């Protein structure tokens, strides 16, 4: 999809929202979109074009362009300082690029939204350090994050619907914490806390998940299980995974998915892991060291 088309889409969308706001009703064609609803019909989940971010003149991102397809699981690798975390900061609204475009689906211009609004439209992010509520149980942590309009207090003390209970049960099974549901989150292992946090993200039904070094500090077995979990999520969600652990990346890419190598704020190489691992430039700046 060309940037022009995306821009045209964003303009059409803004005009539509304007009509809805003034007329109070949908424009009379097709199913009215609710505000902030992302459009994936073009097959693109995330689109970055020529994104540049400078910190005191230093370009942490330098004309970075990247497309992630709907349902795709993309691993991003690259040396420390390559700009991987800064890229996630730009997608989630934590950092404003100096220039460039960041689109979610074909219609949502993420550079126009703030952090909470970006989370609201369906972009979930997992930071390196788990940030679970240590005092609460595993179940309560998940419960707090179920998407609904109730306040935190109501979320904790009112009854869950059968549907919500089912969903929590499924989530607990997915993140391998069914037997730990009543356990205080602070007592979990590091790996289990990471899974809980992923479960908390999933409770909010994100369409796109950004995971920054998700297996750092995990045991080999936890790492393998995390890869299995991400492979289960692939397809239903689009995933962007930043990771240094090549065994993990290998497991995720299954010998057929492409990886992106970032270096000095731009894409250095893109292709199968086996190919980029043999790419001279990649070996020089990253793998060979
Ligand atoms: N808030 C900031 N202020 C100044 N420099 C920053 C800031 N955030 C990141 N950087 C710099 O930008 C570069 C890219 O950092 P980062 O995105 O964290 O890389 P990575 O995640 O690939 O290791 C690094 O040189 C880092 O020091
Ligand atoms: Mg980083």
pLDDT at residue 199 tops 60: yes
State whether the beta carbon of 60 lies less than 6 angstroms from ligand 1.
yes
Q: Does residue 213 surpass a pLDDT of 90? A: yes
Residue 207 maps to which CATH number? 3.40.50.300
| Overall average pLDDT of the 217-239 stretch | 96
pLDDT above 80: residue 159 = no
CA distance 174 to 171: 5
Residue 94 has pLDDT above 60, yes or no: yes
Using pLDDT thresholds of 50, 70 and 90, give the confidence band for residue 238.
very high
Residue 83 belongs to domain spanning: 36-287
- The number of folded domains in the chain is 1
* Residue 89 within a domain: yes
Tell me whether residue 10 is in a domain.
no
Q: Looking at ligand 1, which residue's alpha carbon is closest to its atom 2?
A: 55
Pocket flag, ligand 1, residue 260 (CB < 6 Å): no
Per-residue confidence (pLDDT) for residue 227, from 0 to 100: 97
Q: Nearest bound ligand to CA 79?
A: 1
Nearest CA to ligand 1 atom 10: 60
Tell me the average pLDDT across 193-200.
Answer: 94
Residue 199 domain-assigned (yes or no):
yes
- CB atoms within 5 A of ion ligand 2 belong to 84-85
Q: What is the pTM of this model?
A: 0.85
pLDDT at 2 over 90: no
Can you give the pLDDT at residue 5? 58
pLDDT at residue 6, as a whole number = 61
- Hey, whose CA ends up nearest to atom 16 of ligand 1? 83
Token look-up 């299980």 returns: 225
Report yes or no on 24 lying in a domain: no
What's the gap in Å between 48 CA and the centre of ligand 1?
Answer: 18
Give the atom of ligand 1 at the shortest distance from the alpha carbon of 83.
17
Is residue 20 in a domain?
no
Domain contains 222: yes
pLDDT of the residue at 58: 97
Atom index in ligand 1 nearest the CA of residue 87 equals 17
Q: How far apart are the first and last CA of the chain?
A: 37
Q: Is 6 part of any domain?
A: no
Residue 206 C-alpha from the chain's centroid: 8
Question: Is 29 within the bounds of a domain?
Answer: no
- Cβ neighbours of 1 (radius 10 Å): 13
Q: What tokens does 262 get?
A: 């970032």
pLDDT > 90 fraction of the chain, expressed in percent and rounded: 73
């Amino acid at each position: 999809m060309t940037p022009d088309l995306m821009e045209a889409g964003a303009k059409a969308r803004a005009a539509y929202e304007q009509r809805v706001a003034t007329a109070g009703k949908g424009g009379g064609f097709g199913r009215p979109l609710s505000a902030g609803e992302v459009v994936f019909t073009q097959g693109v989940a995330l689109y970055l074009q020529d994104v540049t971010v400078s910190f005191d003149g230093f370009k942490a991102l330098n004309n970075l362009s990247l497309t992630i397809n709907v349902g795709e699981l993309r691993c991003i690798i690259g040396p420390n300082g390559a700009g991987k975390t800064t890229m996630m900061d730009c997608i989630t609204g934590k950092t404003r690029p100096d220039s460039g475009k960041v689109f979610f689906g074909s219609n949502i211009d993420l550079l126009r939204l703030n952090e909470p609004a970006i989370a609201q439209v369906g972009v979930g992010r997992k930071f390196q350090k788990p940030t679970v509520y240590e005092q609460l149980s595993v179940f309560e942590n998940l419960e707090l994050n179920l998407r609904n309009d109730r306040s935190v207090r109501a979320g904790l003390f009112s009854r869950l619907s059968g549907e919500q209970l089912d969903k929590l049960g499924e989530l607990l099974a997915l993140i391998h914490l069914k037997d730990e549901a009543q356990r205080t989150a602070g007592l979990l292992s590091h790996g289990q806390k990471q899974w809980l946090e992923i479960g908390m993200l999933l409770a909010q039904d994100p369409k796109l998940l950004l995971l920054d070094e998700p297996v750092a500090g995990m045991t080999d077995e936890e790492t393998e299980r995390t890869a299995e979990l991400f492979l289960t999520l692939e397809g239903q969600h689009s995933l962007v995974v930043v990771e240094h652990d090549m065994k993990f990346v290998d497991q995720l890419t299954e010998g057929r998915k492409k990886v992106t190598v970032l270096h000095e704020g731009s894409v250095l190489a893109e292709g199968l892991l086996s190919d980029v691992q043999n790419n001279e430039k990649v070996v020089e700046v990253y793998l060979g060291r």
